[in-house]
Amino acid sequence: MFPDNVRIAIDGFLGALKERGLFPDPVCVDGQTTEPEILINGKRVIQFSACNYLGLATHPAVKGIAKDGIDRYGLATCASRLICGTTDSHRLLESELTKFMNSDDAAVFFMVTQANAAAITSVMGGPSSILSPSPLLDKLGIEPIRGSKEIFFDWYSHPSLVWASIEAVSKEGLRPYRHLDMADLEAKLKRSEAGLKLIVTDGLFSSVGTMAPLPNLVALSEKYEAILLVDDAHATGVLGENGRGTCELLGVEGRVDIQIGSLSKAFAGGLGGFVSGDQNLIDIIRLSGRYINTGSPTPANVQALVECVRIARDEPWRKESVLENANYLRGKLHGLGFSTLDSQAHIVPVHIGDEERAIAVSKALFEKGFLVTVFRYPAIPLGKAILRMCTMATHTKEHMDQFLCAFSEVAEDYKVPRLEAAS
């Protein structure tokens, strides 16, 4: 049992959340979760919550290859990548990602969270980092970079970036800056006396759909001699002429030091994430604890992901459909007078504000046959709750028109703020 003071604090916190309807209650889906129409407790709903952007999670060829992979490899490797958890499929996937991203190499992980942690701790701290003091460097007789370490991150950066940053430099080394505010970032960089600086950002922010000003971030990283990491989990496979993400779209390929991608969103063949970059970076990351001491991605999923990457490359109509759907949905919401903030691309938020109102709106939409996600504190600041819609290549105009009709009715009932009141 917890000590009394801990138990009382937990009981009070959970009780207050549940009393106000703020305790998270995940829906339980009957069967697949990634098509536009899914079943929840026997009820058919149209959903804008899953990130199956290119519609590959249920692609017949992808499923067939995954089934064949189970027959060939079994369900798991039961080992880390360094022991015997690297199969020919893992090597092939990393090769395909390297070609897709036009990089020197890529390292695949079981989750994007692991990829972020491996990249950040490899360059900023930990026993495998070559840039900060460690027993390994002492043994090898290599002089590390001396001085303090600081990590600069956008307030809306994905939590996994923040968790990894705390692990690398502790809270004392964190330097958050206001969302997309380059003046605030530069002021903090200018004051910094750290011997090692890292800027981390989402490329496309997963909560509010805004895009990082990468040309400005590149310029600041070069001016103040900072490493730049871009978590492009939601953009890889969708944005840019070849689907290589925000770095390609915004013309900074080759100038971003570390690029992270997801294997569970556009490339929806299974779990996973990857780090893409030059050969030295990837070699260092393959020395990280996240690579050496964690389970290998399941080979059947890895085999399916190879097919996903190839389909994404060969069928560009998929990413074009994702963005066409997002532009249609965003434009119609604007026409109805609702704020989608400064969102771009295929993440479409609607400003609600009050957390309890946002949850009530989401529940009312579900009653009308629609599943949308509420984003609220601590994912975004208190009092700025949103509904987040993700568009997929498999959504139709009819799906979106039905949602817009239902949302207009619910928004009227629950007094959802209009554009003039949303700023």
Tokens representing 351? 């400003």
User: Can you list the alpha helix ranges (DSSP code H) found in 4-106?
Assistant: 4-19, 60-73, 88-101
Residue-wise pLDDT for 2-33, tens only, equals 788 888 888 888 888 888 877 877 888 898 88
Regarding beta strands 105-109 and 149-154, do their DSSP bridges make them parallel or antiparallel, or are they unpaired? unpaired
pLDDT for residue 421 is more than 60: no
How confident is the prediction for the chain on average, in pLDDT? 92
pLDDT band at 51 (very low <50, low <70, confident <90, very high): very high
Element (H, E) at 119: helix 112-124
Report how far residue 378's alpha carbon sits from residue 112's, in angstroms, rounded to the nearest whole number: 20
Give the C-alpha separation, 422 to 340, whole Å.
9
Hey, is 193 helix, strand or coil?
coil
Looking at this protein, which amino acid is placed at residue 93? L
Average pLDDT of the segment spanning 279-301: 90
Confidence of residue 130 (pLDDT cuts 50, 70, 90): low
> Which pLDDT tens digit goes with each residue over 305-315?
999 999 999 99
pLDDT tens track for 349-403: 999 999 999 999 999 999 999 999 999 887 888 899 999 999 999 999 999 999 9
What pLDDT sits at residue 64?
A: 96
Span 173-198, pLDDT tens digits: 999 999 999 999 999 999 999 989 99
Which tens digit of pLDDT belongs to each residue from 75-97? 998 888 889 989 999 999 999 99
Given a cut of 50, is residue 280 above it in pLDDT?
A: yes
In sequence order, what DSSP letters do the residues of 240-280 get, joined into one string?
A: STTS--HHHHTT-TTT-SEEEEESSSSS-SSS-EEEEE-HH
pLDDT tens-digit series, residues 325-344: 999 999 999 999 999 999 99
Residue 290 pLDDT: 87
Residue 290 sits at the vertex; the CA angle it makes with 289 and 292, to the nearest 5 degrees, is 60
At a CB cut-off of 8 Å and minimum separation 6, what does 361 contact? 352, 387, 410, 411, 414, 416
- pLDDT of 119 above 80: yes
- Its pTM surpasses 0.95: no
- Specify the pLDDT at position 22: 77
* For residue 417, cis peptide bond before it (omega within 30 degrees of 0): no
Residue 126 has a pLDDT of 60
∠ Cα 379 384 387 (to 5°)? 75
Whether the pLDDT of residue 54 is over 70: the answer is yes
Task: Decide if pLDDT at 286 tops 50.
Answer: yes
How big is the chain, counted in residues? Answer: 423
Q: 10 Å Cβ neighbour count for 32?
A: 12
pLDDT of residue 140: 83
Residue 242 — pLDDT band, cuts 50, 70, 90? very high
* Phi and psi, residue 86, nearest 5°: -105, 115
Candidates 375, 316, 369, 366; CA nearest to 348 is 375
For the stretch 260-275, pLDDT in tens is 999 999 998 678 999 9
| Statement: residue 285 has pLDDT above 60 | yes
> CA 76 from chain center: how many Å?
25
Closest to 417 measured CA to CA, from 329, 341, 327, 348: 341
Which pLDDT value is given to residue 129? 63
Confidence label for 231 from pLDDT (cuts 50, 70 and 90): very high
Contact predicate 47/37, CB 8 Å:
yes
- pLDDT category at 423 given cuts 50, 70, 90 is very low
Indicate the Cα dihedral angle 385, 343, 234, 395, nearest 10°: 90
Catalogue the long-range contacts made by 163-169 (C-beta closer than 8 Å, 24 or more residues apart).
163/113, 163/117, 164/113, 164/116, 164/117, 164/119, 164/120, 164/121, 165/120, 165/124, 165/198, 165/200, 167/117, 167/120, 167/121, 167/125, 167/126, 168/120, 168/121, 168/124, 168/125, 168/126, 169/124, 169/125
Hey, what domains does the chain have and what are their CATH numbers? 22-51+316-422 (3.90.1150.10), 60-314 (3.40.640.10)
Q: Please, which pLDDT band fits residue 127 given cuts at 50, 70 and 90?
A: low
